[in-house]
């Protein structure tokens, strides 16, 4: 199971050590003590799972979260956000958390296991190009909006073809009825 890499990004050595102890044996646990180290490990190691502290030195957990949400390849990685201050998380990311899990510090092994399972299920349900869940993300939301507009235009064109076909059928039906009434 060494192919299962779990990246724990937290400035607390105690939290990183506790998470490592709580996980079943056989997982390769990578550790980062700040945001910059964490984002570098994400790109270098391609982890299968990320546990991310929200408040970090050098680069915040929120900045890493935004980066994960902006790249389709990174969006697919199951994520558990960790924080001792849920209100700081919900001030920037609105609930319900659709594509990741949140765990409040301190936590026990069962809470950790449940959060991991939940985040894995949420990651599987995520569409290939899900819109960012970050409030106030300008560049990301404009890209997502352009994609949504293109998708909507395609749907409108398809619906217009269906409407035209229905109009034609209705015209044929009306003609048929008129002939029968004569």
pLDDT-based confidence at residue 134 (cuts at 50, 70, 90): very low
DSSP helix/strand/coil, 9: strand
pLDDT higher than threshold 80 for residue 127: no
Q: What secondary structure, in 3-state letters, does 64-108 show?
A: HHHHHHHCHHHHCCCEEEEECCHHHHHHHCCCCCCCCEEEECCCC
Proportion of the chain above pLDDT 70, given as a percent: 87
pLDDT higher than threshold 70 for residue 163: yes
Q: What is the pLDDT of residues 7-58, one digit of tens each?
A: 999 998 888 888 888 887 778 889 999 989 999 999 898 898 999 898 888 8
Proportion of the chain above pLDDT 90, given as a percent: 4
The pLDDT of 146-156, averaged and rounded, is 78
CA angle (104, 91, 68) in 5-degree steps: 75
pLDDT higher than threshold 80 for residue 144: no
pLDDT higher than threshold 80 for residue 113: yes
Instruction: Give me the pLDDT at residue 8, please.
Output: 92
Whole-angstrom Cα distance, residue 57 to residue 170? 67
pLDDT-based confidence at residue 112 (cuts at 50, 70, 90): confident
């Amino acid at each position: 199971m060494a192919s299962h890499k779990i990246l724990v990004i937290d400035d607390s050595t105690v939290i990183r050590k506790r998470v490592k102890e709580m996980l079943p044996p056989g997982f390769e646990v990578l550790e980062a003590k700040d945001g910059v180290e964490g984002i570098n490990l994400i790109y270098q190691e391609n982890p299968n799972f990320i546990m991310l502290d929200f408040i970090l030195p050098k680069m915040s957990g929120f900045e890493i979260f935004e980066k994960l949400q902006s790249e389709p390849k990174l969006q697919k990685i199951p994520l558990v956000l960790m924080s001792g201050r849920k209100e700081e998380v919900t001030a920037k990311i609105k609930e319900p958390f659709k594509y990741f899990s949140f765990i409040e510090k301190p936590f026990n092994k069962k809470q950790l296991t449940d959060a991991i399972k939940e985040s894995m299920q949420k990651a599987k349900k995520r569409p290939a190009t899900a819109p960012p869940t970050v409030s106030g993300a300008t560049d990301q939301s404009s890209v997502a909006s352009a994609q949504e507009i293109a998708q909507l235009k395609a749907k409108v064109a398809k619906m217009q073809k269906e409407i035209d076909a229905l109009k034609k059928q209705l015209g044929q039906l009306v003609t048929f009825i008129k002939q029968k009434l004569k």
